[in-house]
Amino acid sequence: IQTHRLNPSASIPASQAQAAQAAELDSDFLEPVHHDLDPVFKPPERLFAGDVPVPHIKSREEYVKLYQESIKAPSVFWSKMASELLEWERPPKFAAQGGYEDGDFSWFDGGLINACVNAVDRHAAATPDKTAIIWESDEPGEHEHISYRRLLIEVSKLANVFKSHGLRKGDHVAIYMPMVPEALYAMLACARLGLVHCVVFAGFSADAVRDRINDCGAKLVITADQGKRGGKVINLKRTVDQALLETPTIEKCLVFRRTGEFNIPFHKGRDLWYHEEVEKARPVCPPEPMHPEDPLFILYTSGSTGKPKGLIHSTGGYMLQTASSFKYIFDYHPSDIYGCMADVGWITGHSYICYGPLTMGATTVVFESIPTYPDAGRFWDCVQTHKITQLYTAPTAIRTLKKFGDEFVTKHDLSSLRVLGSVGEPINPEAWQWYHQVPGRSQCAIVDTYWQTETGSIIMTPLPGAIATKPGSCTVPFFGIEPVIIDATTGAEIKGNDVTGVLALRMHPGGWPSMARTILGDHKRFLDTYFNVYKGYYFTGDGAHRDKDGYYWVRGRVDDVINVSGHRISTSEVESAMIGHPAVAESAVVGIPDDVTGQALAVFVVLKPEFDVPLAPSPEATHHHHIKVDDVKKSMIQHIRQAVGPFAAPKMLFLVPDLPKTRSGKIMRRILRKVGGGEVKSEEQIKELGDLSTLADPGLIPQLVEIVHAKA
Ligand code: 6R9
């Protein structure tokens, strides 16, 4: 049932796999678009008015010059940056080495570096009293400042706790934490000792936690009794307890007391209280000198197949590019207060809450709550209270807040803001304009930052003082990145402007420093997914348009990944979860457009014959029947929540007599996307679906249309 569209199997030569792959890409995001009449916004004059720090990059010319340098001589460019921005235990002998054919690329061989020293120690020495972390609790009005001096002490103590329980360089540690400073302490304590952390987003279910722990073989998991989000309590320890029933590698479970309100069961010999352990530990812990290519962390993300990919990031290259991108893209200056509202469970949290800002010695906000708690003014209340200068959030949050109206924004003093960032999914021009005009008061630079878990740091973005913006476009490449548009059917690069196709990045030796190095335990899958699809390029999985001015417009995934509120969800991951439900014979999951979440999941389910519930409410349907259908659907949605996590709950679930398939048995997802999205109503519109001649049963389509509309 699973489709391995982007993972050509071992026996197929790359060129052949490439052709097959190219021919199978089936996405509306590859259809041509035009952007001829878009408004253009110059960098805000206020950035140069004198009362705020002058931008690092002051003009387009300055950007172009640096960009050209970064492309022509990447090793020279990044080596210079590496000695400017990082502290090396021993300076590297080389910059980029190796290549993409085998994925043996490396950066900064011969050097020694510790990520924690770069993010903590050197600032604790230089600016000990500077605030490293502002923790904004779920409850408004409750916040805490943690200085660099204190950060070093907390991190060192925790590192000693890890040591005292036998953890050594190279061991894996799972982190399943709410948004509290201790989540960052845990990451940094791992980095200090050369332990490889694997943060699992606290919204994942017990099954998902178990699978990730088992895939990475973590020895220790660190969690909290409970988490708090939007006034609601989340029983993290309970989820971990359930996951740990089937995780043979876990020896210890360290529990941070966040609420203390719940009498959690403790497993003797396995569970330990964070506060008790830390109390015993000494606040001095020598950092482990690491090779720049030593793994810093593993982070799971969804791909085209059901099994999540554990991407591995390096130490040196990752630290360098997160720090440099943070500096230039958010135009960071030492007096700034920077607030990224993401969660550390995602790459955005790793790179732009923890490592990027702290490596630059910045003050970074750790935000525990949600944008709408206690009301839709929460972000702006934070901006006013902490005098935030750069705010970084996702289009889904921006669209949600826009719906609540301007008053929640305008009643706050937002004069501290200079840069407003967006990440996670394409931002629609209306949301962009609102972000610019209302929270930004037309005085802030909007940076729509495009990147991925795989790229480690932002790869396309405007720079605040240098690049004019267009609402909805991530504009131009960051240093070291060479985007190209590829024709999906021929696999050839499309030159020139005003073109649409698959977005890829041209590979030159070494690529860029923060690229993921492999997929844990599956290097072949790594090469096949990213480098063997289009030879000589890194394949992003997104469709994009390059407009007449050379600006990029990323349109969305062209593979089997659905982006719901910026969360990457694999269709086949949800489909394989569905198969575990006793009533399901077969299912297909597609992404449909949604005003707030960008995309939403629609699930089409074929029941096993023995489950004979009526598929659509009919005039004769009794009350009893309705309940039965609803119960079945509810249990399926519950099943997905349990197998993947609540964020993967489908918006729509349809019980259908069959799935539209080609005669060769391939599900025609294009049809399901259109029908599920409610676009198809009339017979004419069915005809407009295009060539249905390959369908095994064309009579099925009107039935699907009827079922979808009976629901709505
Ligand atoms: C950082 C992050 C990556 C996917 C990516 C793309 C989408 C992210 C975007 C964007 C358009 C932007 N995406 N930022 N699309 N414009 N500014 O989100 O990583 O969770 O791995 O998701 O998100 O589709 O391929 P990740």
More confident residue, 23 or 498: 498
Angle at 243 between CA 241 and CA 245, to 5 degrees: 75
Gap from CA of 196 to ligand 1 centroid (Å): 24
Residue 470 CB–ligand 1 contact under 6 Å: no
Question: What DSSP element (H or E) covers 605?
Answer: strand 598-607
Please report, for residues 165, 177, 699, the alpha-carbon distance to residue 21 in angstroms, rounded to integers and kept in the order given.
48, 38, 29
- Cβ partners under 8 Å of residue 594, min gap 6: 564, 600, 651
**Res 619: pLDDT:** 52
pLDDT digits (tens, 9 = 90+) for 481-530: 999 999 988 999 999 999 999 999 999 877 899 999 999 999 999 999 99
Instruction: Tell me the best of 452, 458, 647 to mutate to test the pocket of ligand 1, counting ligand atoms within 8 Å of each CB and taking the most.
Output: 452
Distance from C-alpha of 661 to C-alpha of 303, rounded to nearest angstrom: 23
Does the structure show a pLDDT above 80 at 117? yes
Average pLDDT, stretch 448-469?
98
- Positive or negative, the Cα torsion across 209, 212, 213, 218? negative
Residues 289 and 114 sit within 8 Å (Cβ to Cβ): yes
Ligand 1 close to Cβ of residue 530 (< 6 A): no
pLDDT at 440 over 80: yes
Note the helical H segments in 548-668: 571-579, 623-643
Residue 260 tokens read as 């203390």
Residue 664: phi and psi, rounded to 5, are -85, 0
Q: Is 190 helix (H, G, I), strand (E, B) or coil?
A: helix
Rounded to whole angstroms, the Cα distance separating 556 from 573 reads 19
Q: Is 309 in the pocket of ligand 1 (CB under 6 A)?
A: no
* Pocket residue to mutate for ligand 1, from 554, 555, 558, 560, most atoms within 8 A of Cβ: 554
Average confidence (pLDDT) over 430-438: 97
Residue 641 CB-density burial (10 A; 0-12 exposed, 13-18 middle, 19+ buried): middle
Q: Measured from the CA of 458, which atom of ligand 1 is nearest?
A: 1
CA distance 491 to 586: 33
Query: What does the pLDDT look like over 411-432, one tens digit per residue?
Result: 999 999 999 999 999 999 999 9
Q: Are 647 and 599 in contact (CB under 8 A)?
A: no
Non-local CB neighbours of 334 within 8 Å, separated by 6+ positions: 361, 362
pLDDT tens column, 570-599:
888 899 889 899 999 999 999 999 999 999
Instruction: Pick the more confident residue, 525 or 620.
Output: 525
pLDDT of residue 243: 98
Give the residue, by CA position, lying nearest to ligand 1 atom 22. Answer: 452
pLDDT of residue 519: 97
Residue of minimum CA distance from atom 7 in ligand 1: 425
How confident is the model over 256-273, as pLDDT tens digits? 999 998 788 999 999 999
Q: Is the pLDDT of residue 177 over 50?
A: yes
Q: Which amino acid is at 460?
A: M
Query: Measured in angstroms, how far is the CA atom of residue 107 from the centroid of ligand 1?
Result: 25
Q: Which atom of ligand 1 is nearest to the CA of 450?
A: 17
Residue with CA at minimum distance from ligand 1 atom 19: 452
Contacts (Cβ under 8 Å, ≥6 apart) of 204: 176, 212, 345, 644, 645
Pocket of ligand 1 contains residue 570 by CB under 6 Å: no
Residue 670's pLDDT is 86
- For residue 613, the model assigns a pLDDT of 64
For the residues 157-167, what does the mean pLDDT come to?
98
Ranking 22-26, 113-117, 676-680 by mean pLDDT, the lowest is 22-26
pLDDT score at 12: 36
Q: Is the CB of 27 under 6 A from ligand 1?
A: no
CA distances from 472 to 415, 445, 452 (A): 24, 14, 17
Distance CA 386, CA 79 (A): 35
Q: What percentage of residues in the chain have a pLDDT greater than 70?
A: 94
Closest CA to 496 of 431, 558, 432, 545: 545
DSSP state of 702: H
| Residues of the chain above pLDDT 90, percent | 80
Going by alpha carbons, the residue nearest to atom 15 of ligand 1 is: 425
CA distance 173 to 345: 14
* Residue to mutate (ligand 1; options 425, 458, 460, 539; most atoms within 8 A of CB): 425
Beta carbons of 400 and 379 less than 8 angstroms apart: no
Phi and psi (nearest 5°) for 242? -65, -45
- Please name the helix (run of DSSP H) or strand (run of DSSP E) that holds residue 524, with its range, or none: helix 523-526
DSSP state letters, 265-287: ---TTTEEEHHHHHHHS-S--PP
Tokens read off for 684: 């004419």
Q: Which helix (H) or strand (E) holds 214?
A: helix 206-216
Amino acid at 42: K
Tell me the chain's radius of gyration from C-alpha atoms.
25
Mean pLDDT of 292-320: 92
- State the pLDDT at residue 617: 52
Q: What letter represents residue 524's amino acid? A: K
Q: Which of 400-414, 643-657, 679-693 has the lowest mean pLDDT?
A: 679-693
- Does the pLDDT at position 362 exceed 50? yes
Residue 618 clears pLDDT 60, i.e. is over it: no
Q: Say how many Å lie between the CA of residue 155 and the centre of ligand 1.
A: 31
Residue of higher predicted confidence among 38 and 108: 108
Please write the tens of the pLDDT for every residue from 130-149. 999 999 999 999 999 999 99
3-state SS record for 3-16: CCCCCCCCCCCHHH
What is the rounded end-to-end Cα distance, in angstroms, of the chain? 28
| Strand-pair partners of 199 | 175
Looking at residue 689, what is its pLDDT? 82
Residue 464, preceding bond cis, omega within 30 degrees? no
Q: Which two tokens stand for residue 95?
A: 């910059």
Per the document, the length of the chain is 712
Bridge partners (DSSP) of residue 256 are: 224
Binding site membership of 474 for ligand 1 (Cβ less than 6 Å): yes
Give the Å distances, CA to CA, from 452 to 311, 458, 540, 568, 649.
11, 8, 8, 10, 23
Q: What is the pLDDT of residues 658-671, one digit of tens each?
A: 999 877 777 888 89
**Angstrom distance (rounded) from CA 609 to CA 642:** 25
Q: At which residue do the structure tokens 């909290």 appear?
A: 224
